[in-house]
Amino acid sequence: MSPSGSQSRSQSGAGSVPQPAPAPDPVRNDAQNTAGGQPAGQAAGDGRSEPSPASQDGAASEVAGASPSAGAVIGGGGQTGEEASRSDGGGTPPTGSAAPSAASAPSATEGTSAPPITDPGPRFPEPLGVSLTRLAELSAPLALAFRTGEPGSLYVALRHGEVVRLRGDSGRVDSSATLDRDAEAVLDMSARVDTRGEMGLLGLTFSPTGDRLYTSSVNRQQVSELWEWPVATDGQVDPGGARLVLSLEQPFANHNGGDVTFGPDGYLYLGFGDGGGGGDPLRAGQDPHDWLGKILRIDPRPAPGGEPYTVPADNPFADGTAGAPEVWVWGARNPWRFSFDRANGDLWVSDVGQDLLEEINRLPAADGAAGRGANLGWADYEGSKPFWSNTEPPGHVRPTIEYFHGDDARCSVTGGYVYRGSRLPGLGGVYLYSDFCDGTLWGYNAASGAHPIPLASGAPPNSVLSFGQGPDGEIYALTNDGLWRLEAN
């Protein structure tokens, strides 16, 4: 079925850009910009500061709307789009949910819709000897994609609005390739991309056939946009053939989400945060009619009759009665990064918490539709703990992995991929992820359900903003200043 066009105050499927919502007061912090009181059992928000990805000491404060000027190339002292994966400090933790000491181990919890997790198996051998090799120096790279039919290149989205291509030596990019460090710009969106707050060029992916590029960004009217760009056989992007697929007003300059990828079913998945402001002031997460706080699922190709995309008939709210037709997963705070396990189709969603918990959700593909209608709980719940309500929302899927902010000074999860390569012995089937504040690489064995363990610490030297996965299953990490490949020592 086709979308119904503009459906609410904030979203549009008709290809036109709606008028932006009023920006928040730049001198008020997240807690002050939050309307509607405090979460159940909580005191007034403390408005505490958050670390900036570009800050060496992690002490830069987040204030909605107060940030570097639009269009600036970020890489030295400005903020980067990884802020979209951080918490706000918009309220104190729920009563009775004190964080454990930094030495406490992270917890692994079974989601309500996941198959039972077996007794923990043996821990991975320690140390595993995982290291990271730097492949290229880049300015605030936020997303990475490989294009079908072009094995010699990879594409990277830079936060300020460029998409660059890096080529492998000997015409390949695989587990042993060395990249040409002179990045070639194939698309420049910087004139329309806003880099205030957590905004920018946040995601990119290619169609399964490689003939179309999709970018997820926020424009200078504070509107999220999904663009489609024709791609020639040589990998050149045609700006003149660009088509706006959908758009969404952002009420604040944070929690924009922005990840975009194609699933194994051939449909496009696009993530949006709850709109920001701290504590979900718009109550968007638990409103299935609102795109904010959701992962959407669409067929991005134009539909018969002129609509810019098609809604798959098996979407949970496809008829538009109980929710927006495009919604696939709901109850998210800021699903900064999500990915599919290429071996079994499971959907892994990392959702950034507020003051207390970070969570990762494994949504199994046992029914052939990983994540269909899953409710991650925000903002009634933060992870497995009550936030606005002491009653769990209907269909709440509890986290597969969660950890407190007090665990090893971590603050903001950066989701990765299930490893399916060959260069890291013993890690097949292990979900790899990191945290923005400590930069440690973690591994979780879904088969055993054992507690996640650190695999590499202190490298790369900067916070991990995002991950990518190559055609050969190898994993890449993106930091403030470059591209890295995971390897065995």
Cis peptide before 365, with omega less than 30 degrees from 0? no
Q: Residue 356: CB partners within 8 Å, gap ≥ 6?
A: 93, 94, 97, 99, 382, 383, 385, 404, 405
pLDDT of amino acid 174: 55
pLDDT of amino acid 438: 84
pLDDT of amino acid 119: 29
pLDDT of amino acid 453: 87
C-alpha 203/C-alpha 193 separation (Å) is: 12
Report residue 287 as tokens.
């409103």
pLDDT of amino acid 329: 99
Residues 59-110 pLDDT 10s: 222 222 222 222 222 222 333 333 433 444 433 323 333 322 223 333 333 3
Report residue 255 as tokens.
């929690």
pLDDT of amino acid 73: 24
pLDDT of amino acid 55: 31
Ranges in the chain, pLDDT < 70: 1-128, 169-182, 457-462
CA dihedral sign, ordered 150, 156, 162, 167: negative
Q: Residue 479: CB partners within 8 Å, gap ≥ 6?
A: 141, 460, 461, 462, 463, 464, 465
Contact 387, 90 (CB under 8 A): no
- Per-domain boundaries in the chain: 11-16+101-108+137-382
Q: CATH fold of 11-16+101-108+137-382, please?
A: Neuraminidase (2.120.10)
pLDDT of amino acid 151: 84
Enter the pTM of the model.
0.79
pLDDT of amino acid 200: 98
pLDDT of amino acid 406: 80
C-alpha 479/C-alpha 411 separation (Å) is: 16
pLDDT of amino acid 125: 46
Half-sphere exposure (Cβ direction) of 91: Cα atoms closer than 13 Å: 28
Q: Residue 100: CB partners within 8 Å, gap ≥ 6?
A: 404, 406, 407
